[in-house]
Amino acid sequence: MNIQIKQLTDNDTDQFKELIHLFRDVFEMPETIIPEGEYITQLLAKQNFFAFVALVDNEIVGGLTTYSLQQYCSVLPIMLIYDLAIKPEMQRKGIGRRLISTVKDYCMENGFEEMFILADEVDEHALEFYRSTGGEESRVVQFNYKYK
């Protein structure tokens, strides 16, 4: 299987919308709204937001989004992987591993101090996957403040 990893640019709004649909399906969040107008183009043009997709035969089968965060205690940024999803029928084929590896390489080449991702403690599949990609686990409790 030929897996291609592509970093999306502001010219790839249609592919980013496909990725949002994939996230919506995999995360079982049908209420997810896809923004209209120039929002996606502007988001993809930002210097602190990155989207990568995995393509097999020019079809998006997975992807991830990240945010670069500036620190106050270091001049080096850190990378937060915000969402990562692979189509269920394409899981366990090395696609997620390739996506993580691509972002690791990007971070090393661009002077990032570290990269991290949050995973729900009950999602054993995700926890096993991130452990297998070399992530060092740390226990935290996340508090959310929702406004809408």
Q: What is the CATH number of the domain that holds 110?
A: 3.40.630.30
Q: Is residue 138 part of a domain?
A: no
Q: Is residue 57 part of a domain?
A: yes
The candidate with the shortest Cα–Cα distance to 74, out of 114, 119, 131, is 114
Strand partners, 54: 5, 62
- The predicted-structure confidence for 114-124, as pLDDT tens digits, reads as follows 999 998 888 88
Q: In terms of residue numbers, what domain contains 69? A: 3-132
Q: What is the mean pLDDT of the chain?
A: 94
Q: Is the pLDDT of residue 147 over 90?
A: no
Assign 133 to helix, strand or coil. coil
The candidate with the shortest Cα–Cα distance to 66, out of 48, 54, 88, is 48
Per-residue pLDDT band for 146 (boundaries 50, 70, 90) equals confident
**What is the domain count for the chain?**
1
List the structure tokens of 133: 């990609």
- The predicted-structure confidence for 77-136, as pLDDT tens digits, reads as follows 999 999 999 999 999 999 999 999 999 999 999 999 999 999 888 888 888 989 999 888
Q: Is residue 97 part of a domain?
A: yes
Sign of CA dihedral 15, 33, 68, 65: negative
